[in-house]
Each structure stands twice: as C-alpha cells, then as structure tokens.
Structure 1
Amino acid sequence: MKKIFNLFVVFSLLFISCNDNEDFNTEDMMTGTAAEGGVIVAVNSNSTGKLLGVPSSTDFETATISFAASELDLGVLLMSGGADIATYEIVKSINGGTEASVATSSTLPISLVYTTVDDYIDGLGITADDLRIGDVITFKTKMTKSDGSVIYAGPNDGSYSITVSCSSDLAGTYDLTMVSSNGYVINFPNEEITEVSPGYYKTTSIYAWSVGSIAPDQGFNFSDVCGQLNVPDQDLAQGYYSNDVFNTEAGYVDGATGDLKIFYTVSFSSGDVTCVGTYTKK
C-alpha cells in the first residue's frame, strides 16, 4: 500500500544532513562580521551526521525508533578574529530546549565525534525511547569573551543540526517516465539517482525536468523522510538555469517495489509547468 506520511521537514541545500537553524534565538548572536563581533567561526564543510532508524509505526508522535545508523563528525573552525575570546564551547539542545555543554576549549578548532545514539542524548535528560521522527538535535558554538560576556556564532556560521529520520537507501538505477502539464511524456532508461547526504538525493538525467533538453548531469535534488519525497526550492537544473523549482505535493516510495513517484513544479515566464516522475527500480 502506498503511504504518504505527513511530516514537515526543513532541509538545507548546504548538503548538511537536515540542517535547520530557524529555531535559534538570534538575540546577542554574532552578525557574521569580525568588525562587529571580533570573531568569525564556521562549521567544517566536511562535517557529517545522522540519526536514522525504523519507527515502530506510522504514528510518528508516539512511535519509538529502532536506530540503524548514528554518527557525528563535527568540526568548528576559526575563520578570523578571536583575540577577545577566552573560551569556545559547543553546546547542544533538542527541539530548542535546554542546552548541554559537550566540548570546551580556549582555542579552535574543536572536533566532536559521536558513534552511538547515547552520545547524542547524553546530557539532554532523555532516553533513546523518547526520541521521535522529526526531532532536531542542534549544536551551536558559544563563546565567552574576556570580560565574561557570552556570544553565540550566527545560525549560518557555527551551528549544525541533525534531524531524527528514517533510514533511506534510494541510490541506484531506475527507468524513468516524466509527464508534464505542457504535454511532454518522455521515457528515460537507466536514470541514475545518487545520494548527496543521508536522505538527500540528486537525479542526473539530461532531460530530468521534462521540459526539454538541458545541460548534462544537471538533475534536481529531492529528500526522503520515511518514504515521503519532497523537492526543496531550488533553481532549475541545480542552478544551471534561474527558473524556480518547488514542491507541488509530497511524493512517495512504494514499499513493496522500491519504485518512486516525485511531484514538482517549474516556473517559467509563460507560466508554471507541473511535472510527475515515475521511477521504476531496476
């Protein structure tokens, strides 16, 4: 049976697994310039993390999770400034709750490595059975200045978030049929889908948008959260064109066959074109 799970998920196009910074209180945070704050920090671009598992039911509010993958390799770097900073600290919280300190140093970089679910929840006052699909564990960089005042790195600089999600394994080869509202019905054998980060994928078809020939290897990005497939807002052909692309409705994975159905809309000056892609697993 096809199931479309109703779950709101915010995804970063930075290719960080489920990076969500909207819950941060930005008062007293760094603005991102050394002149204004005296220091600029950044999350290492090679940082990765995931908390993936299988929920006990489709009721995500109550379902416990059997975790299959849990890891974190997080690094915070000093980009510039910092002469007035006495202490750097990484703190974590779940769903915007109380912060717990996890690492402290007088200098940067700071590295944080987790290999278990217990590593993630340590200090948060919860157990693994309390975690639910959609929970967000956020890491922020907290800095104490020489005068004792405290500042935080800006939400786009020294912060990193992991969303608890279902395991996802959609990379592979598919036969693709694209149907669009402007009259295109096109078949593409051997369409490749590659995984960019856990639960976040890229298509590669030269005609993947079903609106005509475009640059090769310029497909689109989509996310998989517990079988629900969404196309985050992006430019056409992964930025090759400036036409906006956005989610039309949630797609889904057929649990019995592994086939995919993806819906999205592309905006043009002549009007929007809605597209439906059916990906048959090979």
Structure 2
Amino acid sequence: MKKIFKLFVAVSLLLVYSCNDNADYNTDDYLTGTASEGGAIVAVNKDTGGKLLGIPSSTDFATATVSFAASELDFSVILMSGGNDVSGYEIMKSLNGGTEVSVATSTTLPISLSYSTPEEFVSNLGIAPTDLRIGDVISFRTKMIRTDGSVEFAGPNEGTFSVTISCSSDLAGTYHLTVVRSNGPDVIFPNEKIIEVSPGVYKTESIYKWDVGSIAPDQGFNFQDICGELTVPEQGLAQGYYSNVVIGTEPGFVDGATGDLKIFYSVDFASGPVTCIGTYVKL
C-alpha cells in the first residue's frame, strides 16, 4: 500500500508551574518565570484540549479541501504567580505563525476560550474553513499588558496551545495481533486492545509480555495516526514504566479497505535492539 507522506503534527501543551495546591491543574511540571521582577507566571489548564479533524478531498494535502468532522477547543489559562502589575490579559490567535489577532480579553485570570465549529477557529484570521489544509496549525498564546503600558507574552511552555488540522482517526478497538520479531518466533495476541489517548494518538495493550513479564501496568506503546500513516515516537517501554527505548523504525499504515494496521518498531534491551512488525487485524 502506498503510504501517505509524513506530516509534522503537534497538539501541544500541558504544563504548569506549581506554587499552590489547586487540584484543577497539573502541578507535576515546574516552569521558570519572572514574576519576582514583575509580570506573571501563567499555566494552561490541564484539561485544555482541541481538535480540528476531517477528510481531505484528495491525498494532495497542499491543495485538498477538508470536510471537517470534529471541531473542538477548550482552552483556559490560570495565574500561578505574580500578576500584581498586570492590568490585562489577552489570548492571541494565529495561523501557521502569521499575524496574530486578539480573540479574548480579561483583566484577571483565568481566561478561557471555547470553540465548537471550524468557523470559530478561523474567525478574524481573514480566511474561510475551506482555505484550511491538512497540516495547517492554529496557535493560541497569552499576552500580558502591564500597568506601565508594556507588553509581554507568556513563555512557550506557559500559555501556548496549538491545534493542527489533521485527518479524522478512529482506530480504537480490539484486534488480532501478530508480532514478527527479530529475536524469536512470531507471537500472537488474539484480543489486543488499542485505546485512544487523544485525537489521533493511541496506546497499544501489549508489546513484550513474553520478555518482561506482567509486573508493569501494561506493556504497550503509544503511536500516532497522521492521515493513515502510523508513527511510533521515541518513548520508554510500557508508556515509560521501563527505561527500555521503543521507537518506530519506519512509517506504518492503515489499510483503508479493511481497517487493519501495520506498525514497525524496535525495543532496546541489554542484549541489543529487537525489531518488530505488528499486524493488527480488526475484529
């Protein structure tokens, strides 16, 4: 099957600086800021999410229009520290790093933005939804206006969120999995589950149960579906439970006619890397 060319995809963000015990926000990651020098440290709500997914009219993504099937944005920014000399906050929006426009303002935080249609995503950008193409990125970032009239923006890990236009993806389900591996005979998992983590991002249930046993929460790995092309980003075994590196060796693919999957990856062990080809037959 001819593979669709690889796109760079990002649905970025989930960050936070913790200086309190607010259960509504993820406080695992710590950020640096300049609140002590004035300004503010802000963070993106851990429940922030967004997607703009559809079906392209052709595989020529540079020209193909997109029939959108899922449009959603729930973006919120909270004050984590400082802010005494900040008189206002704005959420700025841009397309592919172009001119920014203001789409929400407030004198205090939190500040939020919610969309449910493609029209809302492109509002004020001077384009229509039909102008969007697979791979386009709509970004949001937080602007702060200080009491002296100066302006600053939150750092890229503090108040920024991006949504990449991509293809609809629905790979969650149960599969009959056959793994061809370089260090032994084929292994079969008759009821392998694939779970959706976020739009276009999935996790498998099994990977090396025959080698690492069953002490981990699961032995799966994460992969991405980018318009029918499947990639495995570098990660730790069992979603980081082990330090063994799992990484894709070449792009996999979805069989458009059957819904079956083919994923190519390797796992590093002390004895060396083991390459695998996983064939997932939809049940």
Counterpart amino acid of residue 242 in structure 1: S
Give the 3 Å change call, closer, same or farther, for CA 183–218 of structure 1 in structure 2: closer
**1:117, 1:128 within 8 Å by CA — same for their partners in 2?**
yes
Q: Report the counterpart of residue 229 of structure 2 in structure 1.
A: 228
**1:245, 1:266 within 8 Å by CA — same for their partners in 2?**
yes
Q: Please report the TM-score for the alignment, with normalisation by the length of structure 2.
A: 0.88
Give the 3 Å change call, closer, same or farther, for CA 66–208 of structure 1 in structure 2: farther
Aligned length: 267
How do 1:115-134 residues align onto structure 2 when only pairs under 5 Å count?
115-134=116-135
Q: Report the counterpart of residue 65 of structure 1 in structure 2.
A: 66
> Distance between the aligned counterparts of 1:219 and 1:229, measured in 2?
15
SS in 2 for 1:237: helix
Q: Report the counterpart of residue 8 of structure 1 in structure 2.
A: 7
Q: State the identity as a percent.
A: 65
SS in 2 for 1:248: strand
Q: How far does residue 36 in structure 1 lie from its aligned partner after superposition?
A: 5.0
Q: Report the counterpart of residue 41 of structure 1 in structure 2.
A: 42
SS in 1 for 2:193: strand
Q: How far does residue 33 in structure 1 lie from its aligned partner after superposition?
A: 5.0
**1:181, 1:273 within 8 Å by CA — same for their partners in 2?**
yes
Q: How far does residue 109 in structure 1 lie from its aligned partner after superposition?
A: 0.5
Counterpart amino acid of residue 82 in structure 1: G
Give the 3 Å change call, closer, same or farther, for CA 201–109 of structure 1 in structure 2: same
For structure 2, the 5+ residue unaligned runs are 16-30
Give the 3 Å change call, closer, same or farther, for CA 210–147 of structure 1 in structure 2: farther
- In the alignment, structure 1 residue 265 sits paired with structure 2 residue 266: yes
Q: How far does residue 211 in structure 1 lie from its aligned partner after superposition?
A: 4.7
How do 1:4-153 residues align onto structure 2 when only pairs under 5 Å count?
4-11=3-10, 31-35=32-36, 38-153=39-154
Q: Please report the TM-score for the alignment, with normalisation by the length of structure 1.
A: 0.89
Q: Report the counterpart of residue 156 of structure 1 in structure 2.
A: 157
**2:143, 2:151 within 8 Å by CA — same for their partners in 1?**
yes
Task: Report the aligned-residue RMSD.
Answer: 2.0
> Distance between the aligned counterparts of 1:281 and 1:256, measured in 2?
11
**1:139, 1:161 within 8 Å by CA — same for their partners in 2?**
yes
CA deviation vs aligned residue, 1:165-202 (integer Å, no higher than 9, x gap):
00000000001111222224210011111111111111
> Distance between the aligned counterparts of 1:182 and 1:271, measured in 2?
10
**1:178, 1:210 within 8 Å by CA — same for their partners in 2?**
no
Give the 3 Å change call, closer, same or farther, for CA 119–13 of structure 1 in structure 2: closer
**1:180, 1:273 within 8 Å by CA — same for their partners in 2?**
yes
**2:72, 2:115 within 8 Å by CA — same for their partners in 1?**
yes
> Distance between the aligned counterparts of 1:212 and 1:173, measured in 2?
23
Give the 3 Å change call, closer, same or farther, for CA 241–11 of structure 1 in structure 2: farther
Q: How far does residue 252 in structure 1 lie from its aligned partner after superposition?
A: 0.4
Q: How far does residue 208 in structure 1 lie from its aligned partner after superposition?
A: 4.7
Q: How far does residue 70 in structure 1 lie from its aligned partner after superposition?
A: 0.7
